[in-house]
Homo-oligomer: A and B are copies of this chain.
Amino acid sequence: MRIAAPELEAITVRLLQTWRVPVDAARTVANHLVESSLAGVDSHGIMRLPQYLDAIEAGEIDVDAPISPVLDRGSIVAFEAYHAFGPVAGMVAAQVAAERAQSHGLSLVVMAHAGHAGRIGAYTGAIAEQGVLALAFCNSPVYGHFIAPPGSRTGRLATNPIAYGFPTLEGPVVADFATGSMPEGVIRLLRDRGNPAPPDMMLDARGEPTTDAGSLYTDPPGVILPLGGSRNGHKGFALGLLVEVLAGTLAGDKITDPNLRGNNLTFICIDVRATPAAPHFQELAAELVAYVHAAAPIREDGRVMVPGEKEQRTRAERLRSGIPIDSFTWEGIVSRAARLGVPLPFVADEEHQ
């Protein structure tokens, strides 16, 4: 089933407003989810809508929460989000990070205790559009600790993603990836669709390699290997630990605190105009992209791409042909709409099937 992006955005805004989300915030969240789905990042796209609605209902997201600075040193700013909507808090933090980098050259912005932050490349892309190089680091509390350290069968970190964005003459380059072998959301999708996980990405609860996506949700649970798998997992775990330190420890959070919910998000930003490369940075960055493009593909018809390029192409295709939605997600949306008394006439006809 496919639904056009504007229609899906309208459904999302409507459902969020029924939960008293202010219209600007609802639009920010809807745009975030739909843009993620457009980019093909389904694990952080519209499949999250039922989860977000449930989180509001459970009081895990506070739709009226203020997003307050708790520290302001000019180039270093920290916010307490009080469980505000993740994409709303994320955009506030991103905008402050961009502005402070522009005025100070560098910035560090820590956003603590927001709801699910979503696709963090959305923020680094928005910052890079303003001529600022951005790094983003996102952690989750103990209940999201699916990633085991090398040699262990116990989760100790969430899939702690890293994103970045930098401006070039040809537009920003944006990367966004989990420091685990796979994002938990993707494994959940595989389980929901009855598909196996690829090899060398998971261990079952006894510490044996497995491709059974469901083994992550047993009791006791299995684990996801860090990026790099059985041979190079020490590198992925080191990256995940760095994310934990930058997003969690710098915010003052205790790793084992059972009361923490949602995501923390930390930005490090550099105004490229304040560096030795200025004013040539964007030209040099475009040359770097062109150099990667000029690499020989292994397959004759292959195309060598920089990060974010595949997502741009998927976006163009899905803007034309609509966003595919799996039946599990769609049923989740339909059932919640029914309970909220929101009709979904847009998608009742055969055209969308």
Name A's B-contacting residues (CB within 8 A): 70-71, 73, 75-76, 78, 104-108, 110, 112, 133, 135, 148-154, 156, 162, 164, 166, 173, 175, 177-178, 181, 198, 200-201, 203, 207, 227-229, 231-232, 234-239, 241-242, 244-246, 248-256, 268, 270, 272, 274-277, 280-281, 284-285, 287-288, 291-292, 295-299, 302-307
CB-based closest 6 A-B pairs: A207-B298, A175-B238, A78-B276, A154-B295, A152-B295, A252-B277
Copies of this chain present in the complex amount to 2
Which residue of chain B has the shortest Cβ distance to A208 in the bound complex?
B298
| Beta-carbon contact of B284 and A156 below 8 Å | no
Task: Report the Cα distance A245→B76, complex, angstroms.
Answer: 23
Task: With CB as the reference atom, state the residue of chain B lying closest to A162.
Answer: B239
Of the candidates A198, A245, A254, A255, the one having the most CB atoms from chain B within 10 angstroms of its own CB is: A245
Contact status B149-A106, CB under 8 Å? no
Q: How far is the CB of A232 from chain B (nearest CB, A)?
A: 6
A249/B149 contact (C-beta < 8 A), A75-B105, A241-B307 known = no
Q: A177-B235, A270-B108, A276-B110 are in contact. Are A153 and B298 (CB under 8 A)?
A: yes
Docked pose: A209 CA to B261 CA in angstroms: 44
Q: Is the CB of A104 within 8 A of B75?
A: yes
Nearest Cβ in chain B — how far from A308, in angstroms? 9
In the complex formed, the residue of B with least CB distance to A306 is B241
Measured between C-beta atoms, what is the minimum distance from A147 to chain B in Å?
Answer: 10
- Given A152-B304, A284-B255, A250 and B235 contact (CB-CB distance below 8 Å): no
A175 contacts which chain B residues (CB < 8 A)?
Answer: 238, 241-242
